[in-house]
Amino acid sequence: MTILAAAAIVRNQEEEILLVQEGKEHVKGLWDFPGGKLEEGEKPKEGVKREVLEETGHIIEPKELKAIYFEESARTGEDVIVFTYLSEIVGEGESNPDTENEIIDTKFYKIDAAKKLDLRKKNRHKMLKDAEDKKTISEDRLIDTR
């Protein structure tokens, strides 16, 4: 089975990117882009908006598709397709209390500083490099990072 997921690259005015520190046991303490698994029938843009709000309390607007990554689930080993969107914060809401044990912290980092963090997966270095590049892609591009 293939899992569909979505993640956001959110920049602030200082050109820092938003990351979340994981609290789930199998990835506890590691840093990642906000996002997660899509619900059944959910479109990637809807899913990334929901996930970022749940994890960070920020209301975002996904602007452009940055990349589509093909990876492996750290927990189950299943294939995962991750739609990654350049996004901007358009408001503030409340994070989901159910995610309290899933997310330890949220913070904006300069990309160079983010590269030095303990990241959830090795391919997040590729995602950080891609985040530096201002180009976007069409929705038919797939990057295999396994």
Report all structural domains of the chain as residue ranges with CATH numbers, in order of start.
2-144 (3.90.79.10)
Confidence of residue 56 (pLDDT cuts 50, 70, 90): very high
**pLDDT reported for residue 72:** 86
Q: Mean pLDDT across the chain, nearest whole number?
A: 87
pLDDT surpassing 90 at residue 146: no
Phi-psi domain of 87 (left: phi exceeds 0; alpha: psi -120 through 50; beta: other): beta
| Distance, CA of 100 to CA of 127 (rounded, Å) | 25
Angle at 31 between CA 126 and CA 12, to 5 degrees: 80
Tens-place pLDDT, residues 63-108: 989 888 998 887 788 999 999 999 999 999 887 766 667 899 999 9
Tell me which of 112 and 132 has the higher pLDDT.
112
**pLDDT reported for residue 145:** 63
**pLDDT reported for residue 22:** 92
pTM assigned to the model: 0.86
Return the structure tokens found at 69: 């990554």
Which percentage of the chain shows pLDDT scores above 90? Answer: 59
**pLDDT reported for residue 18:** 97
